[in-house]
Amino acid sequence: MNQIPPFRSLSLRRSVLSVPAINLRALEKSHSLDCDAVIFDLEDSVAPENKGQARENLRAFFAGPPLAGKERVIRINSLSSEFGAADLDLVKALLPDAVLLPKVDEPRVIAETSDLLADAQAPEELRIWAMIETPRGVLNVGAIAESGCMPGARLDCLVVGLNDLRKETGVLPQPGRNFLAPWLMQIILAAKAYGLDALDSVFNDFRDAEGFDVECGQGRAMGFSGKMLIHPSQISAANRHFGPSEEEIAEAQAIISAFADPAARGLNVINANGRMIERLHLVQAEALVHKAHLISARKPA
């Protein structure tokens, strides 16, 4: 049985903004935004006749000043499409932090892309993100996530795509996502089982700040690491919901201090202010404090 890869350095993925690669103004604006990652989209947001220009836009953008403090992700067209090979060649040339594969239905796609990147001698740090946005993708999400444990696999993150999933299943876009919740939890469970991040889907109406706020709260409660965004106005709420609150940071620091007490040495369970705390809570607390430090380091001085 394949082993889960060692715990990778915790990445900030609270707010992941999708930017059409054809939109020069949006590309330039991404430098000044407080999102944790930017997806430079060559797929759905770019018309077929503009794919070539979008690739040239990204070549020029990556040749300019670096996108400081943010993960850089390029979403390509399917490798089975007429645009996929050229998109992946661009990824090999620009070496972003990750390539986002659309409509991943089965583990084979992860393995083939990993092999293509390895053949091009792309650094191991160039990771793969997978869009789970089809019925087959949801049905196979456990095997897709497990494929990240294979030697040489680069899978790092699952991204939910509800627009395509709704289209293919006929589920209506209702508030609360009641009929979609079982599938969302299935994706999260697969991601967590194999040490991957899971990002919640986009919220389409960026003018509906209240609805977006509610959906962010739901996504955080479900266990998502962050949310894919379509507009800069959504960044602040996503950062707030998917980042630790001051109360959570204080509680985590208290747990760390409690286990640092010499009296707790060798104990797996301790009593702290009337509450039984296990060492698994210590691991969670350390990860949360580390995340808080990463957030603090990202803020401009």
CB of 82 within 8 A of CB of 110?
no
Two tokens, residue 282: 């210590």
Residue 300 has a pLDDT of 55
pLDDT tens across the length of the chain (301 residues) = 455 444 444 689 999 999 999 999 999 999 999 999 999 999 999 999 999 999 999 999 999 999 988 999 999 999 999 999 999 999 999 999 999 999 999 999 999 999 999 999 999 999 999 999 999 999 999 999 999 999 999 999 999 999 999 999 999 999 999 999 999 999 999 999 999 999 999 999 999 999 999 999 999 999 999 999 999 999 999 999 999 989 999 999 999 988 988 888 888 888 877 788 888 888 888 988 988 988 888 765 4
Count how many residues are written for the chain. 301
Q: What's the helix, strand, coil split of the chain in %, to 5?
A: 50, 15, 35
Would you say the C-alpha torsion 21, 65, 119, 137 has a positive or negative sign? negative
Number of helices (H), then strands (E), belonging to the chain: the values are 12, 10
Residue 298 has a pLDDT of 76
Measured CA to CA, the distance from residue 226 to residue 212 in angstroms comes to: 13
How many CA atoms lie within 13 Å of 192's alpha carbon, on the beta-carbon side? 10
Residue 279 has a pLDDT of 85
Would you say the C-alpha torsion 228, 233, 236, 241 has a positive or negative sign? negative
CA angle in degrees (0–180, nearest 5) for 212-214-215: 65
Query: In the chain, what are the domains?
Result: 15-242 (3.20.20.60), 246-298 (no CATH)
CA angle in degrees (0–180, nearest 5) for 166-172-177: 85
pTM above 0.75, yes or no: yes
Measured CA to CA, the distance from residue 59 to residue 106 in angstroms comes to: 30
Measured CA to CA, the distance from residue 69 to residue 28 in angstroms comes to: 15
Measured CA to CA, the distance from residue 145 to residue 191 in angstroms comes to: 6
The identity of residue 43, as a single letter, is E
CB of 15 within 8 A of CB of 229?
yes
Token pair 């969302």: residue: 184
Residue 268 has a pLDDT of 86
Residue 7 has a pLDDT of 40
